[in-house]
Each structure stands twice: as structure tokens, then as C-alpha cells.
Amino acid sequence: MKSLMEYMGVDEGRINFAWVSAAEGGRFAELVKDVTDKVKELGPNNGLIPSEAGCSCGCKN
């Protein structure tokens, strides 16, 4: 997965995988806050540069 993200231009610091039980709402909220803070600290992901042809998914990017 890491090599795919690198290939796509996504910095590995922007991805986090964790197992959280449905009974661990507090832990889930803490994980989301930690990841959000880390991504904000990293700033824009300059590795994802849109092509001039646009996105192939049909969106308006």
C-alpha cells in the first residue's frame, strides 16, 4: 500500500490505518484528531498535481 501511495504522490504521513472497535468511540475521535492535526501540519500535498487533461473519474478537477 505504501508504494502505491508514493506512486500516486501521497505523502505517507497523510495515511493512517488503525483498528478501532465500535465500542471505542473516544479512541476513534482521538485518532481522527491526531491524523487531522498531522495533515494540517504537513500542509498541502504538492505531490498530487492534476493533469492538464483533467481527472478521468468525471469530476470537474
Give pLDDT, residue 28: 95
Q: Where are the domains of the chain?
A: 1-61
The secondary element (H helix, E strand) that includes residue 29 is helix 25-42
Residues 3-59: tens digit of each pLDDT:
888 888 888 888 888 999 999 999 999 999 999 999 899 888 877 666 565 555 555
Q: Is-contact 44 34, C-beta < 8 A? A: no
Residue with cell 500542509: 43
